Amino acid sequence: MALSHLYSVFGDELFELPLACVQAVPAAERKLFLKMLERRLNSPLTSSCGRLFDAVAAMTGLRGMVSYEGQAAIELEAHAESVETSLRYPFEVVTEEDCYVTDFSHMIRSIVRDMGLGRPGAEIARCFHNTLAAAVAETCGLIRGDTGIGRVVLSGGVFQNKLLSEGIHTLLTENKFHVFTQRLAPPNDGGIALGQAIIAGRSISCV
C-alpha cells in the first residue's frame, strides 16, 4: 500500500525516495512492482481507510508487514497518542463523477518530506490522524451544503480507532452536526455480520 500511494505521487521516482519501506524492496523486484502499478496488474483499487493506515505506518517505518488485521493501524494510533499537536497535513476534497473524493497526495508528499527532515514518527502519526479527521469533517460539510442533511453516522472498522473517532466527533459537533456512533454492536465486521443476519431473517420471514 505504501508503494502504491508513493507511486501515485512520485511516479517512476518512487524507488529513489529515502524511505526504509522503499529501500527494503530488492532491486530485482522493483521493475516488477513498477510494471504492476503502471498497468494495474493484480493491483485493484481500494477506498478502504484501513489501507491508508497501512501505507502511512510503512512510510514512517513503524510497520511494513502485519501479522493480523488492523495491526498497523493499532500501532499507528498508539504512536500518535504519545504526542499532542493540532497540526495537520494539506489535503483537497475534489468532485469526481458526482462524488466527493479526498485527495491525500499533498499529505503523502508532506510525510515523505518530514521523514527526510527527521521529524519524529509519532508527530507524523498524530498529524495524519488530525488530517483524516479534518477531511471527514470538510466532506460532511460539503454534503450538507448540497443536501441539507445534518446527521452523520460513524461506522466501519476504522472507527475502532479512539483517537480518530473522537477527533471526527469533536469537529462535527463543533460544526453543529448530529453525530451517531455505535454502542450495542461493533462498527467493524461484527456489525456487518449482525446486519446481514437481520436482512436474512427478514427475507426468510417474507417467504
Cα separation, 165 vs 159, in Å, equals: 5
Query: Mind giving me the DSSP string for 53-95?
Result: HHHHHHHTTS-SS-SSTTHHHHHHHHHHTTS--------EEEE
Instruction: Using 70 as the pLDDT threshold, list the residues of the chain that sit under it.
Output: 205-207
pLDDT digits 0-9 by tens, 56-91 = 999 999 998 889 988 999 999 999 999 999 999 999
| Structural domains present in the chain | 2-206 (3.30.420.40)
pLDDT in the model for residue 175 = 97
The HSE-up count of residue 153 (CA atoms within 13 Å, CB side) is 5
End-to-end CA distance of the chain: 44
pLDDT in the model for residue 206 = 65
Cβ-based neighbour number of residue 78 at 10 Å: 13
Short-list 125, 129, 140, CA closest to 164:
129
Q: What is the pTM of this model?
A: 0.90
pLDDT in the model for residue 58 = 96
pLDDT in the model for residue 136 = 97
pLDDT in the model for residue 37 = 86
E strand or H helix at 102, and its extent? strand 99-103
pLDDT in the model for residue 44 = 83
pLDDT digits 0-9 by tens, 169-178 = 999 999 999 9
Cα separation, 158 vs 167, in Å, equals: 13
